[in-house]
Structure 1
């Protein structure tokens, strides 16, 4: 699936270690469509390399290719919009990407990094 719009928020990086001992990093960002009645969607990029390659910035106009997935936790279902390709609209294809700045963890995260959600 594809979605196009302007980036209105880039959230701090999240990272951790899986049960199998592999480290992971994700970053959420919010896109707003450029329609008369704008819609917003929050996407997640998974993996340090994909995050650095995409280099999502506020006010960029992007076209996102993504998959939808749902997970159950404590009897409730949650949707995830997993971005797997991010393109800057109107930018040359050979545009070099710069590295993503390091951000601090969110202030509402628990001190041990466990927010009680399994995903």
Structure 2
């Protein structure tokens, strides 16, 4: 399978969210917006799960150039499909620091 990635600037970090899974375990996630150089539809919202990944995201400043590696998934609910764009690795492009956000917490809470 091909690896999906895209480059752009970190535009915004949204507020962290948390909840409880059906099995009683807690979860945390944070969304962030990447601005690409595309002429149209150039803002993409990614989500990442787990506190370790959220800490790694906070090491990146707004406006920094990054490459985001991600997985796409869809799920059906009430005859409608919902899509997720789950980030699992972020590389800073301005220097050699790479932020590895991969881990065991890459599972959605539902």
TM-score calculated relative to the size of structure 1: 0.72
Runs of 4+ deviating beyond 4 Å: none
Alpha-carbon offset, residue 59 of structure 1: 1.4
- 1:54 equivalent to 2:54? Answer no
Contact 2:90/2:98, CA 8 A, preserved across alignment: no
Alpha-carbon offset, residue 72 of structure 1: 1.2
RMSD of aligned residue pairs (Cα, Å): 2.0
The structure where strand makes up a greater share of residues is 2
The runs of 5 or more residues in structure 1 that have no matched partner are 96-117
Equivalent position of 1:93 in the other structure? 97
Give distance in 2, aligned partners of 1:69 and 1:63. 19
- Please list, as runs of the form range in 1=range in 2, the aligned pairs for 1:30-109 lying within 5 A after superposition: 30-35=33-38, 37-38=39-40, 39-55=42-58, 56-93=60-97
Give distance in 1, aligned partners of 2:65 and 2:28. 24
Which of 1 and 2 has greater Rg? 1
Give distance in 2, aligned partners of 1:71 and 1:2. 21
Alpha-carbon offset, residue 94 of structure 1: 7.1
Give distance in 2, aligned partners of 1:93 and 1:76. 40
Q: 2:21 aligns with which of 18, 23, 30?
A: 18
Equivalent position of 1:2 in the other structure? 5
